[in-house]
Structure 1
Amino acid sequence: MTARIDFGRKTVQVRSRLTGFTGLLGLRTVVVCVALLVVALLVAVLALGTGDAPIPTDRVLRAIFIGDQRFDRLVVWEWRFPRVLLALVLGAALGVSGAILQSVTRNPLGSPDIVGFGTGAYTGALIVMLVFGGGEFQTAAGALVGGLASAVAIQMLALRHDVSGFRLILVGIGISAMLASVNAWLILRADLLSAMGAAAWGMGSLSGLTWAQVTPAIVLLTALSLTMIPLASRLRMLELGDDLASSFGIQVRRTRLLLIFLSVALTAVATAVTGPIAFIALAAPQLGRRLARTPSTALLPAAAMGALLLVTSDWLAQRLFAPTTLPVGVVTVSIGGLYLAYVLVAEARRS
């Protein structure tokens, strides 16, 4: 991948030989993304060094890059690094997922967790856990299937002539409410131990993650990201309207359905690993857009902001009430509730 900066036009030309993709990025967008990633990495290093066995920053870096101290290497690399790495990667995935859906629906509230994709993934996981007694990988597969199944159901109900953004959100909220009642029924009918485990998983947590979860998640997310690269330009065209997009030779209906599938798949992978984590997909695209001052929802700022939000939320979940550790979903819901109130007030003032 190569990049060329044009300071006169304040743009950066990016060219990938692997995918054949060529595009222009605003210089401010690049600066904002780099700044967000730097802050996210600083928080990650801080998270790697804090805990029941605190480790100074210089020893954390030595444990990662040199590994000459066995104890530091064990704590940092084996115990904490998978959790922090997945927080960064899955946060970026949720940010991109939300950006895609908000662009397709042309609505800042078009988030996978609000529309119901995350709830469907939770339903699939609950069925595997509580009905079939599946293990860890079976539960992850159930979450993937549940998320995709809910997406298919929502699109079939919303798709009379074409996918309408507002209709998709309304149908998704209705399906999400129905699935939430199904989830509650599944938990209530289960035995106490299984119900407690399912309820804890449903709050979303990065605790207990190991390298066994890292490799499959990164492989799946890398494949989805490579699929997304050639569709990024089409996503911007869809935001300009179906008629204009069609005039440029874009198959609007097919492209929109493919983008929604990618959004669902990104959310389902994250849910399969950690359980449903709310509001990252809702807040990250809009916060990234405001910082980068892009005319539309941009994928790269959404990914960088998502990584920063999730790794910071997870660090706060570990340290706010230490030694008691909160599920990261509790922190993201608290932050997301404030953000949702802000969005509703801002939209009311505009109208």
Structure 2
Amino acid sequence: MKTLTRSRAVRAPGGFSVRLDVRALAVVVLLLVAALAAGIALIGTGDARIPAADVLRTLAGDGTAYQDFIVNELRLPRVLVGLLVGASLGLGGALFQTISRNPLGSPDVLGLSQGSTAGALIVIVLMGGSAGQVTAGALIGGLATGVAIYLLAWKQGVHGYRLVLVGIGVAAVVTAVNGYLLTKADLVDAARAVVWMTGSLDGRDWDQVWPLLVLCAVLVPVVLVNARGLRLMEMGDDIAGALGVRVQRVRLLLMVCAVLLTAAATAAAGPVGFVALTAPQLARRLTRSPGPNLLPSLCMGAALLVAADWASQRAFGADQLPVGVVTGVLGGCYLLWLLVTERKAGRI
């Protein structure tokens, strides 16, 4: 009887039915509301405080010229970048964890974040590039690292544990390269690199919003269309293949999507830690549903990052604490709690 209350079969046009998980849908709606509420609160936070009602009025086009400048030109792009980066990291983390069949299979562990950092450091330290060039370098570094991990993990296909082990090895090598690059930088470039490596939404504008928005508009539907194949792959490649899933093709496509989402998010905001690791786990605990939980993970990532940015400003003053520090502390505490819980349950 519990299964009947959790999900419902909905008849769609064309004669086929879709099973709808009511609890998962409710979680998605609540997370979207939480993300938007945190975004509105974040827009009103800063040296010039703006009440939530005035923020909504300004977004609707009825604010004063002063409010319009503060809200639409200065703070709205930052919030949108936070929502898009959080959503990209949450979805990318869910894809990696499902493909690797390992809760630690996130971009932080697999080396993608470190690869993006290496690309940015090369531009900063060796080329003295502009902000736009640093973003391009981070994107290229993340993509190159993803390709290297996939090729090194390939042996008649890519399998979960081999992917994680290769990713950990690549992450160690790239981390060493990043340390070497920092030692070769002068004081100004080193300080600039460390600020970028912390992960921050400070100074983000519409130039970061549009590329992320376009990328998410393209990749998110592609991922959701292949969600059924991804869920069947959790039962094993042989069973999924017998049910008509082109396993290696779907895995490669979704890995490319995950790498692009992660690299673009890192290029836009720096290597924001632990969002990709914790968002899918928290979403799964809320929905209590098996499977990849792609949409809940996406919404959880967006809500987590914007809420963390709001908390950093409220607790320490505007722009005094980068959001990457907050997510790192919260994510590390959650990881320790998860490990203790799993150990007590006898699963590790």
Contact 1:319 1:325 in 2 (8 A): no
| Equivalent position to 1:10, from 7, 23, 36 | 7
Q: Secondary structure at the match of 1:50?
A: coil
Contact 1:120 1:146 in 2 (8 A): yes
Contact 2:93 2:280 in 1 (8 A): yes
Say yes or no: does 1:98 pair with 2:98.
no
Query: Does the C-alpha gap of structure 1 residues 271 and 16 become closer, same or farther in structure 2, counting only changes over 3 Å?
Result: farther
Aligned length: 342
**4+ runs of 1 displaced by more than 6 Å?**
14-17
User: Per-residue CA shift, 1:100-140, capped at 9, x if unaligned?
Assistant: 01110111111011111111111111112221222222222
Q: How far apart are residue 35 of structure 1 and its match?
A: 0.7
Q: 2 CA distance for matches of 1:41 and 1:128?
A: 35
Aligned to 1:144: 139
Aligned to 1:213: 208
Can you give the 5+ residue segments of structure 2 that lack an aligned partner in the other structure? none
* Aligned positions of 1:1-351 closer than 5 A: 10-11=7-8, 13=10, 23-323=18-318, 325-348=320-343, 349-351=345-347
Q: 2 CA distance for matches of 1:67 and 1:142?
A: 40
Q: How far apart are residue 10 of structure 1 and its match?
A: 3.2
Q: 1 CA distance for matches of 2:6 and 2:289?
A: 15
> What is the root-mean-square deviation in Å for CA atoms of aligned residues?
2.0
Amino acid at match of 1:96: L
Q: How far apart are residue 76 of structure 1 and its match?
A: 1.2
Q: How far apart are residue 27 of structure 1 and its match?
A: 0.8
Q: 1 CA distance for matches of 2:105 and 2:94?
A: 9
Amino acid at match of 1:10: S
Query: Does the C-alpha gap of structure 1 residues 245 and 324 become closer, same or farther in structure 2, counting only changes over 3 Å?
Result: closer
User: Per-residue CA shift, 1:43-98, capped at 9, x if unaligned?
Assistant: 11111112101111111111110233111111111111111111112111110000
Query: Does the C-alpha gap of structure 1 residues 327 and 74 become closer, same or farther in structure 2, counting only changes over 3 Å?
Result: same
Contact 2:58 2:67 in 1 (8 A): yes
Q: How far apart are residue 16 of structure 1 and its match?
A: 10
Q: How far apart are residue 186 of structure 1 and its match?
A: 0.7
Q: How far apart are residue 347 of structure 1 and its match?
A: 2.8
Contact 1:221 1:269 in 2 (8 A): no
- Using the size of structure 1 for normalisation, the TM-score is 0.92
Higher mean C-alpha displacement, 174-183 vs 21-30: 21-30
Contact 1:117 1:267 in 2 (8 A): yes
Q: 2 CA distance for matches of 1:52 and 1:104?
A: 44
User: Per-residue CA shift, 1:122-167, capped at 9, x if unaligned?
Assistant: 1111112221222222222211211111112112222223322112
Q: Secondary structure at the match of 2:19?
A: strand
Query: Does the C-alpha gap of structure 1 residues 279 and 160 become closer, same or farther in structure 2, counting only changes over 3 Å?
Result: same
Higher mean C-alpha displacement, 110-119 vs 319-328: 319-328
Q: 1 CA distance for matches of 2:13 and 2:49?
A: 41
Query: Does the C-alpha gap of structure 1 residues 324 and 270 become closer, same or farther in structure 2, counting only changes over 3 Å?
Result: closer
Q: How far apart are residue 234 of structure 1 and its match?
A: 0.9
Query: Does the C-alpha gap of structure 1 residues 37 and 328 become closer, same or farther in structure 2, counting only changes over 3 Å?
Result: same
